[in-house]
Amino acid sequence: MKLAVVGVTGLVGKVMRDVLTERDFVIDEFLPVASQRSVGKKVPFGGKEHIIIGLSEAVEAKPDVAIFSAGGSVSLEWAPKFAEVGTTVIDNSSAWRMDPAKKLVVPEINGDELVPADKIIANPNCSTIQMVLALAPLHRKYGIERLVISTYQSFTGTGVVAVNQYNNEMHNQPVVEPAYPHPIFQNCLPHCDVFLENDYTKEEMKLVHETRKILSDDKIRVTATAVRVPVDGGHSESVNVELKKDFSVEEVRTLLSETPGIIVRDDLKNNAYPTPLAAKNKDDVFVGRIRRDDSIARGLNLWIVADNLRKGAATNAVQIAEYLVQKQWV
């Protein structure tokens, strides 16, 4: 197994190395790949120091799998070049997610849609992954009519520049290169990604389009408000679900408890419910505050939390790679 991580020096790239190690992913040759300014430097992995190489050299090496976390423009240019030499690319950017010819995969939900010919596989947005993992079993059993989503997303989801802004603001130091138009320390910004012509942000529309694609249902009505919060640990989501069939709350709790990758934490008498701090550095998606919405027929409220850098990015990508190995396609 020859595996490349493209964007190895970034926030997700580092977590990718951690996840690969923790999950004992068998690698015979590790190729750390980054931009030209990092080429020649070293990164630790597997108890050794590895020299970072550039994209051209990585393509020439013909890795079996290349996990990309280097931004959409890099993926659009370079993923096809890797695919041409036989590499299977798992891309963490938004570049290929809505391409009808590319699969958008959360392995627990739709991994079985993959075939050996899929050479560029899209990893969904972090906020989408954790939500659809909880919604998929509900959609299969009851059908989903409508979703009203409010997200509370960690600044780590914006990358190193946002982390630097937060840290500088916290320590009363000047912010040379701000990631946001307003302070993030002790603040909340209803502004994730850029604003679009419909006055929604790009992040909000990702929740709309990606959810429909992963659940294979374009008829689900979805509206979302995505908020950036001063949290280092994970993303939280308040999700209001209108189901097509009636349900009991206990039935929903049991269904979610039996879903791989989900931990239900919903014991209000003991103040047990998911928090991003408790989810940090964990691969599971946590669900709590499960309750009926009495304002509409067949309404359900969920509170969904996960580490955005792990299941929301690195872990899901590695799980896709594990699936490919299991199928002996790489």
Q: What is the pLDDT of residues 245-277, one digit of tens each?
A: 999 999 999 999 999 999 999 999 999 999 999
To the query of whether residue 235 is one of the catalytic residues in this protein, the response is yes
The rounded distance, in Å, linking the Cα atoms of 134 and 28 is 35
Q: What is the pLDDT of residues 85-140, one digit of tens each?
A: 999 999 999 999 999 999 999 999 999 999 999 999 999 999 999 999 999 999 99
Q: Cβ atoms within 10 A of the Cβ of 26, count?
A: 9
The pLDDT confidence band at residue 38, using thresholds 50, 70 and 90, is very high
Q: Which one of 50, 139, 192, 235 is the catalytic residue?
A: 235
Q: What is the pLDDT of residues 224-240, one digit of tens each?
A: 999 999 999 899 999 99
Q: What is the pTM of this model?
A: 0.96
Q: For the chain, what are the domain ranges?
A: 2-124+313-326, 127-308
Provide the pLDDT for residue 233.
85
Across all residues in the chain, what is the average pLDDT? 97
pLDDT at 194 over 90: yes
Provide the pLDDT for residue 316.
98
pLDDT at 321 over 90: yes
The rounded distance, in Å, linking the Cα atoms of 212 and 108 is 16
* 2-124+313-326 fold: Rossmann fold (3.40.50)
Q: Which one of 50, 126, 139, 192 is the catalytic residue?
A: 126
**2-124+313-326 with 127-308: one CATH topology?**
no
Q: How far is CA 265 from CA 137, 151, 186, 202, in A?
A: 17, 19, 27, 31
CATH superfamily of this structure's domain 127-308: Dihydrodipicolinate Reductase; domain 2 (3.30.360.10)
Q: Which residues are CB-neighbours of 267 under 8 A, at least 6 positions away?
A: 273
To the query of whether residue 126 is one of the catalytic residues in this protein, the response is yes
The pLDDT confidence band at residue 327, using thresholds 50, 70 and 90, is very high
| Average pLDDT of the segment spanning 49-72 | 97
